[in-house]
Amino acid sequence: MRHVEELLSGRSNSISSILVRAGLWCVSQPHTAIVWGRNLAYDRGWKKVGKSTVPVVSVGNLTAGGTGKTPAVAMLARWFRSRDIRVAILSRGFGAGLDGRNDEAKELEILLPDVPHLQKPDRLSSASIATEELGMQLLLLDDGFQHRRIHRDLEIVLLDAREPFGFEHMLPRGLLREPLRSLRRADIVMATRADQVDPQRLAEIRTRVQRFNPKAAWLESEHTPIRLRNAAGEHRSVEWLCGQNVLGTCGLGNPNGFMQTIRSCGANLVASMTFPDHHNYTSHDIQLLEKQARECKPGCDAIICTGKDLAKIDTPRIGQFELWSLDIELRIRTGAEILEEFLERVVASISDRQ
- Reduce the secondary structure of the chain to three states and give it as a string: CHHHHHHHHCCCCCHHHHHHHHHHHHHHHHHHHHHHHHHHHHHCCCCCCECCCCCEEEEEECECCCCCHHHHHHHHHHHHHCCCCCEEEEECCCCCCCCCCCHHHHHHHHHCCCCCEEECCCHHHHHHHHHHHCCCCEEEEECCCCCCCECCCEEEEEEECCCCCHHHCECCCCCECCCHHHHHHCCEEEEECHHHCCHHHHHHHHHHHHHHCCCCEEEEEEEEEEEEECCCCCEECHHHHCCCEEEEEEECCCHHHHHHHHHHCCCEEEEEEEECCCCCCCHHHHHHHHHHHHHCCCCCCEEEECHHHHHHHCCCEECCEEEEEEEEEEEEEECHHHHHHHHHHHHHHHHHHC
DSSP-assigned beta bridge partners for residue 105: none
Q: Does domain 224-329 have CATH number 3.40.190?
A: no
Q: Which pLDDT score is estimated for 69?
A: 92
Q: Can you identify the CATH homologous superfamily of domain 56-223+331-353?
A: P-loop containing nucleotide triphosphate hydrolases (3.40.50.300)
Q: Which pLDDT score is estimated for 126?
A: 95
Between CA 202 and CA 208 the distance in angstroms is: 10
Query: Residue 73 in contact with residue 142, Cβ under 8 Å?
Result: yes
Q: Which pLDDT score is estimated for 102?
A: 65
Q: Which pLDDT score is estimated for 306?
A: 94
Q: What is the pTM of this model?
A: 0.92
Between CA 92 and CA 259 the distance in angstroms is: 27
102-156 pLDDT, tens digit per residue, is 677 778 888 899 999 999 889 999 999 999 999 999 999 999 999 999 999 999 9
| Count of C-beta atoms within a 10 Å radius of residue 100 | 10
> CA 58, 63, 65: angle at the middle one, nearest 5?
95
| Count of C-beta atoms within a 10 Å radius of residue 45 | 8
Q: Which pLDDT score is estimated for 100?
A: 59
Between CA 251 and CA 258 the distance in angstroms is: 10
Ranges in the chain, pLDDT < 70: 1, 95-100, 102, 352-354
Q: Which pLDDT score is estimated for 95?
A: 62
Report the candidate in 48, 49, 50, 45 with the shortest Cα–Cα distance to residue 128.
50
Q: Which pLDDT score is estimated for 65?
A: 76
39-72 pLDDT, tens digit per residue, is 999 999 999 999 999 999 999 999 987 789 999 9
Query: Residue 177 in contact with residue 171, Cβ under 8 Å?
Result: yes
